Copies of this chain bind each other. A is one copy, B any other.
Amino acid sequence: MRAITFIEKLRFEPDHPEPMPTEGECIVKVRLAGICSTDHEIVKGYMGFRGIPGHEMVGDVVKGSPEWVGKRVVAEINCVCKTCDMCQAGLSSHCRKRTVVGIAGRDGCFADLVAVPEHNLHEVPETIPDESAVFVEPIAAACQIIQQVSIDHRSNVVVVGSGRLGLLIAQVLAKTGCKLEVVGRNPKTLLFCEKKRIRSTSVESLIPRNDRDVVVECTGSPQGFDIALSLVRPRGTIVLKSTYADGTIPNPAAIVINEINVVGSRCGPFPDAINALARRDIDVSPMVARSFPIERGLEAFQASRQPENIKVLLKINPR
């Protein structure tokens, strides 16, 4: 099968071996896949990943149990043991023995076929087009924030980072009715916010006032934390979404002095994300900048690094 692989460097392989499903797994034929910041971090060495990257996708089940074959699906990325203390405690996304699709110990979806546990699959309602369904994984990650932190119409919230994830987070948070602002560097993405009636501010014109209840840091860079610290109020919350291969958090004394709550936030609930798309709470179509066939996957990675391209998709087996 065709696949993008990362072993020291990224390459396109026209004839990669097909995945062999193990007990309880299905094979999904990938229609579309999304390139995300984590994929770029993987290419920089994040998680020491080797294999086929890619964890955002929509596709069709082509092999596995009869109840799934033929269905159009998205798939949760944490593949879990169901027996460890975390799984038993209902925290299976933190399974001690987990593999993560395209991120840790398991091939991902930048390929014709990907093996995933049947347990991870979610059928996509017909009303959601492929170009939206491919965003379910990052929208779920955005939805995770409101699972972890209480945000309502009284909350003063700022999203630091107007990249791919930031724009999804902003749309999810906007639905809470909170007082919302997005801070970013990219005029194109800030304009996107304004079109969605979400207040946006460029980093350069930011006035740090330490008056926000909740600051979501999703810049993907350690500098974002400094900005977050300058915005959050004493006893406020910084939600940390960025993962990067290297970096440190500066100025931990400020966390103590202002008694800040820093909440790490990772994967989230797929059903909430699917519902948000079905209800049209979130509009992802203006975010897709370019699509590439898998053979031009390396070019797609390059394009995805350009700020003007909010989201770049791989058309692998499009309908």
Contacts and interface: CB of A to CB of B under 8 A. Distances in A.
Contacts of A245: 253
Contacts of A257: 243, 264, 266
Nearest to A103: B257
A35 to B, nearest CB: 19
A252 to B, nearest CB: 5
Interface in A253-268: 253-266
A253 B261 CA distance: 16
A255 B259 contact: no
Interface string A227-259: 000000111000011111101111111111111
Contacts of A148: 259
B252 A225 contact: yes
Given A248-B250, A249-B249, A250-B248, A240 B255 contact: yes
Task: Tell me the interface secondary structure of chain A in the complex.
Answer: mixed
Interface of A: 46, 85-86, 91, 94, 148, 211, 222, 225, 233-235, 240-245, 247-266
Contact of A261 (B250, B254, B263): B263
A310 B243 CA distance: 39
11 contacts: A91-B234, A91-B235, A225-B252, A241-B256, A242-B252, A248-B252, A249-B249, A256-B265, A260-B264, A261-B263, A262-B264
A222 B249 CA distance: 11
B259 A262 contact: no
Nearest to A94: B234
A259 B248 contact: no
B252 A259 contact: no
A240 B252 contact: yes
Given A85-B211, A91-B234, A250-B248, A243 B262 contact: no
Contacts of A94: 233-235, 258-259
A242 B260 CA distance: 13
Interface core residue of A86, A225, A254, A265 (most chain B CB under 10 Å): A86
The 9 closest A-B pairs by CB, nearest first: A94-B234, A249-B249, A248-B248, A255-B264, A262-B262, A256-B264, A243-B253, A259-B264, A260-B264
A264 B261 contact: yes
A119 to B, nearest CB: 19
A262 B255 contact: yes
A86 B252 contact: no
Contacts of A262: 255, 261-264
A227 to B, nearest CB: 14
B235 A256 contact: no
A190 to B, nearest CB: 24
Interface core residue of A249, A250, A251, A260 (most chain B CB under 10 Å): A249
A256 B234 contact: no
Nearest to A222: B252
A127 B211 CA distance: 43
Contacts of A235: 91, 94
B259 A265 contact: yes
